[in-house]
Amino acid sequence: MGHQARNHLDHKPFFISMIFLLFIGIYTYTGNSLPASDEAEEPWVTEGLSDKQTSLVPKPVQYEKRAEVTENEYRRIGYYAGWSAYSGFNVEDIDASKLTHINYAFANISEDGRIAVGDPWVDIENPYPGDTENQAIKGNFNQLKKLKEQNPHLKTLVSVGGWTWSENFSDVALTEESRTNFAKSVLEFVQKYGFDGVDLDWEYPVRGGQPDNINRPEDARNYTLLLKEIRETFNAQTKKDGEKYILAITAGPSKHHARNLELDKLHEYVDYIQLMTYDIHGEWDELTGINAPLYQDPESGFFKDWSVHDSVRTFIGQGVPAQKLVMGLPFYGRMFKQVNDSGNGLYQPFSGGGKSVSFAALEAQYIDKNGFTRIWDDESQVPLLWNGDTIISYDDTESIGHKTDYIKAKGLGGAMIWELSQDPDEVLLTKVDEELK
């Protein structure tokens, strides 16, 4: 019958549908998208591939320029554990030319809520050649000052807390008075001992960490306020002396850890966030697992597994600019003993306990030695060692290369190393330097 003119008022549903479609078109054109649901958590859109193979398209987020480092330079941050001096790896053994920052682990928190020297002997008292008897500051702290004099580009931060000394963080963050007291003590500490800033390693706000840690539900909010106070204290000092004071934090990598931080707020106060993207599995588990998988293994034996990639997209999804995220790299592996002899020993029960093993020890005793065979896990992009009884998950130059490629592809802020004494021959450190310099 041909096309007949119709009164649009007789077809209100059609008219409303057209208006809705027009709105969707305009909304999409402007670069926004409608959320699928209020419960959506992931900031990435997959394009029909597996998690490891996916081409990831982030939601439109305005990222800040990389803070505190020069343009196009990735941070190469190495933790130096103060206790390494007891085993013969000294500050002077660090090749600072391959690093931009050194985090000194650890300072403690005193009962009166101030930052405190962690180990007085090794930190400030132990005399080195060239030190004088009446010298006020000796030990590792003075050695770090000398290292900076030889490497003017290098920045040093004192790391506070860690697994052992996080007990008092909740009290420090609790009130305006306690936050002000701690912030002032941090500024005094970094100025007195020659550091460029502070790295807060609270393990962990709200819940977790050592059994004797103090935890409160309000830790998440109070942590943000503590960081704000330290930032304002640093900024006030910068106006006086023109010096740049660095504020960083180190955070647990999981959704659980992210949930207990106000990431969308606190990132405004820090120069960067270092992710502890390791110890994802270890001897505390019932099954053998991978220490630091870049991607999840779809064949994982764990009901809920995790990966470096999952950590990165979780933190970005909660508002952290990619350039402020620093990926943690372990210079050690995780060993599992008396493993059920099935396949390559992965995701199997074990009864002999386990431990961490430095990369230096792995090279000397395990990699293609003493019956151990190297196996590459293509899904997780990391190597394994297996001898029929013991399995070791670790990182080598190949897996470090995949992780540094990821850092560059995703526009992250760099890499953090735990920790330098575990690779004294600089095999892994050289790889990080070559890829991120």
For residues 104 and 156, give the distance between their C-alpha atoms in angstroms, rounded to a whole number. 7
Could you confirm whether 111 is annotated as catalytic?
no
Query: What kind and span of H or E run contains 358?
Result: strand 354-358
The three-state secondary structure class of 249 is: strand
Helix axes 397-409, 308-317, angle to 10 degrees: 20
Helix axes 219-241, 176-193, angle to 10 degrees: 40
For residues 340 and 389, give the distance between their C-alpha atoms in angstroms, rounded to a whole number. 7
Name the E strands within 220-340: 246-251, 272-275, 325-330, 332-336
For residues 176 and 237, give the distance between their C-alpha atoms in angstroms, rounded to a whole number. 19
Tokens 């400030």, located at residue:
124
For residues 256 and 207, give the distance between their C-alpha atoms in angstroms, rounded to a whole number. 10
Among 334, 331, 429, 328, smallest CA distance to 385 is for 334
Q: Report helix, strand and coil shares of the chain as percent, to nearest 5.
A: 35, 20, 45
What count of other Cβ atoms lies within 10 Å of the Cβ of residue 370? 10
Find the catalytic residue in 167, 203, 229, 435. 203
For residues 73 and 103, give the distance between their C-alpha atoms in angstroms, rounded to a whole number. 18
**Cβ contacts of 381 within 8 Å, gap of 6 or more:** 52, 293, 294, 295, 399, 402, 403
Among 350, 359, 338, 376, smallest CA distance to 418 is for 359
Task: Compute φ and ψ for 209, nearest 5 degrees.
Answer: 85, -160
**Active-site residues: which are they?**
203
